[in-house]
Structure 1
Amino acid sequence: MRTKEFLSKKGINFTAVDVLNDPTGQEQLLKLGARTVPVLAQGEQYIFCQNLEDVAEFVGLQGSGHTPLPPATLITKWINVLRAAQRYILQLPNERLVERAIDSRDRSIRLLSHHIFRIGEAFLETAIDDVEYWVDNANIPPEDGTFTIGEEIAGYGDTIIERLESWWTQLEDKSCQQKVKTFYGTPPMHQLFERSTWHSAQHTRQLIAVLERIGIEPHGRLTAEDLAGLPLPEGLWE
């Protein structure tokens, strides 16, 4: 979604392909040799769209125009986002967690809620344990029969928040310029840190929309200031 918005704003023509629902799109992806999306391709050349700076370079632009927030600001914003997600999850009736978060995608509210914190766990696996980061790492679902009520998911959130805070406290080089292993190269940790922060924030925005849809006013809404500086897409759902 971010890539499409970015290209549109820059006046660059492109054709969007839904590889999940379009068999032709799946064939194109396999032909390129890419194993995950989003991907931006020109002929046989392609890049993974994890970083808008890479996208800008690929299409011949001089930078994306975005200045990343300092790591010390990112950790504060990320924890704030995760605490907000916990509040919203606890407001959701447990019997509604099995419903789809949005009709057009087969992802339940339960899985969306768990995913917000799993993003943090996937980041820590890379930052601490040197596990190569893949999008699928952040999408690992909970086992069947687990995390079926809001209290359990919020408790998982407590665990991830505590681990993130501990990681940050013990981190010696807080510039986060040390390289990390990912499926799209070895970027500075700062880049994956920022991506993980806004990724959790985007899904937390979606939880707010879910609450509103079922007629519940979110406790302690995230504000524009809370999200300022994060490269979030303008759209809410893909």
Structure 2
Amino acid sequence: MEYLSRDVFADPEAKAEWQALGLETLPYAVQGERHVLILHTDQLRAFLGLQASEAAASYGELAGATNRILRAVEQAVLQVPTERLSDPTPNRGRDLREMVFNIHDRIPPMTASLDSGIYQWKQGDDYGRSRRFLTSEELGRFCSEVRTAWFQRASLVDDDAAYEMVQTHRGLVTHLQLLESQAFHAAQHLRQIYVFMRQIGITPARELTAVEMAPVSLGEQVF
């Protein structure tokens, strides 16, 4: 299926079209007069009249992988000197504080959604809210606290609960689909953090490999 990919951060015309639709978040797809916000690729499949994909793993397997990924983010943060936390990364120039906060800010609402059926995360000022972390240790502790609280609750999810529906600002998804989306998001940013670390002369210790991130599916592009 042919499509045109546009970057609202690099293409002023694309940004104007996005703003004209009144959307607060990304990504989204447009087909003629129709558009859909996308949290999980199955929403795009449904929008295009395609069959949903088969789950690559159980909720428990995916939760285990997500826990490994989040722990690896925490370990990476602790390897970066505090004085480099404000250095721009290749991810649109966001510094490490902002990018790591962006990963973890989504996780507590996912934890709460397991009981409420509502995922209440919305995009906010990640830069401003991440300024409170003054040292690498403080940022790493934040990562650890978020991950630990989430994984404790996620470990209780059975197969039936995994397929219950969750209301999000981007439509209905299952708990499994929500976790898949956040696992991929965290994994992509982890890969970008490794690139940033090498750029500032740090070889990541205990670098998580693609095999160790499985069954999280990784894209070909890191950025």
**Same fold? TM cut 0.5:** yes
Aligned partner of 1:36 in structure 2 is 25
Q: CA RMSD in A?
A: 2.5
Of 126, 130, 134, 2:113 maps to 126
Per mean C-alpha deviation after superposition, the further-off stretch among 88-97 and 48-57 is 48-57
Aligned partner of 1:58 in structure 2 is 47
Of 190, 207, 212, 1:221 maps to 207
Aligned partner of 2:195 in structure 1 is 209
Matched, 1:163 2:152: no
Q: Which amino acid aligns with 1:72?
A: G
Of 77, 81, 94, 1:93 maps to 81
Q: Equivalents in 1 of 2:141, 2:130: separation in Å?
A: 17
Task: Tell me the SS of whatever aligns to 1:187.
Answer: strand
1:218 CA drift (Å): 0.8
Deviations 1:162-218 (A, max 9, x none): 211221245466641121110122211111011111211111111111111122111
1:20 CA drift (Å): 2.9
Task: Tell me the SS of whatever aligns to 1:181.
Answer: strand
1:42-81 matches, within 5 Å, as 42-64=31-53, 67-81=55-69
1:145 CA drift (Å): 4.4
| 1:56–1:63 Cα contact (<8 Å) kept | yes
Aligned partner of 2:93 in structure 1 is 106
TM normalised by structure 1 equals 0.82
Task: Tell me the SS of whatever aligns to 1:15.
Answer: coil
Aligned partner of 2:123 in structure 1 is 136
Aligned partner of 1:83 in structure 2 is 71
Q: Equivalents in 1 of 2:154, 2:49: separation in Å?
A: 36
Q: Which amino acid aligns with 2:179?
A: F
Which runs of 5 or more structure 2 residues have no equivalent in the other structure? none
Aligned partner of 1:24 in structure 2 is 13
TM normalised by structure 2 equals 0.87
Deviations 1:84-121 (A, max 9, x none): 1111111111111101111x613112211222322322
Q: Equivalents in 2 of 1:27, 1:125: separation in Å?
A: 34
Q: Equivalents in 2 of 1:192, 1:206: separation in Å?
A: 22
| 2:119–2:169 Cα contact (<8 Å) kept | yes
| 1:179–1:187 Cα contact (<8 Å) kept | yes
- Residues 145 and 194 of structure 1, relative CA distance in 2, 3 Å threshold: closer
1:59 CA drift (Å): 3.4
Aligned partner of 1:7 in structure 2 is none
Q: Which amino acid aligns with 1:225?
A: V
Q: How many residues are aligned here?
A: 223
Aligned partner of 1:9 in structure 2 is none
